[in-house]
């Protein structure tokens, strides 16, 4: 079973997410939190497979809770998906830097929520399609850099397609290679970039303006 922690200050939202997760045969809700402090406490104690965190919560906001549960300084980070009403660029930027495995808007729908949980468990990541390109574009610096981090030309091709939000199957079709080969490339890319998931790979690509 995929064990999920839900953190949101609105009881109706927690109930709704709980019903969606509980309706899946391989998922269960193991805890709920109405504020950031409780979310961190439950996350550390329960060690869920995935934590769903809202951003605007009392006592401790979701981005800080995310940093404490999955940030760069956390030895054994949780997989966290940020689910919020607000798609402000600064929120997404901070969420990616603090270790988020996904970023969804609350109106994305049940199917995308479930998909995001599954993606996080598999080591993948999902961002609401409606905001992926716009938000990642804003991570770009004023000028492009030419540091390729030792990536091969084919690995750079994969990185560019990841940054555009393509799935492994779509990347395989676009490059005329097997899905297994895509996964092999991604594993090598993550090692070379020291990236924990494809969200960080995409952020790296947009920062260097490899996509436009």
User: Where are the chain's structural domains?
Assistant: 2-136, 140-207
Residue with the bigger pLDDT between 199 and 99: it is 99
Structure tokens that stand for 49 in this block: 């497979």
pLDDT tier at 142, thresholds 50, 70, 90: very low
Q: List for the chain the helix, strand, coil content (%; round to 5).
A: 50, 15, 35
pTM given for the model: 0.69
Q: Cα–Cα–Cα angle for 125, 181, 49, nearest 5°? A: 30
Between 1.10.10.10, 3.40.50.2020, 3.40.50.10860, 1.10.1740.10, what CATH number should domain 140-207 receive?
A: 1.10.10.10
pLDDT tier at 69, thresholds 50, 70, 90: very high
pLDDT value, residue 211: 75
Domain 2-136 has CATH 3.30.1780.10: no
Residue 169 DSSP code: H
């Amino acid at each position: 079973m995929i064990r999920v922690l839900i953190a949101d200050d609105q009881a109706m939202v927690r109930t709704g997410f709980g019903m969606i997760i509980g309706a899946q045969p391989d998922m269960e809700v193991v805890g709920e939190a109405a504020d950031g402090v409780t979310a961190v406490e439950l996350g550390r104690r329960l060690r869920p497979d995935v934590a769903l965190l809202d951003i605007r919560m009392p006592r401790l906001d979701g981005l800080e809770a995310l940093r404490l549960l999955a940030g760069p300084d956390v030895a054994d980070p949780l997989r966290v998906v940020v689910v919020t009403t607000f798609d402000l660029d600064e929120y997404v930027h901070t969420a990616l830097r603090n270790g988020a495995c996904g970023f969804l808007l609350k109106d994305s729908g049940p199917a995308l929520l479930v998909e995001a949980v599954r993606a996080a468990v598999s080591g993948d990541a999902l961002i609401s399609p409606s905001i992926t390109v716009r938000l990642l574009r804003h991570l770009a610096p004023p000028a492009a850099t030419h540091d390729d981090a030792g990536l091969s030309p084919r690995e750079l091709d994969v990185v560019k397609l990841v940054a555009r939000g393509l799935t492994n199957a779509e990347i395989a079709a676009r490059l005329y290679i097997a899905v297994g080969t895509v996964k092999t490339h991604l594993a090598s890319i993550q090692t070379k970039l020291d990236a924990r998931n494809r969200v960080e790979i995409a952020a790296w690509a947009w920062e260097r303006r490899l996509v436009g």
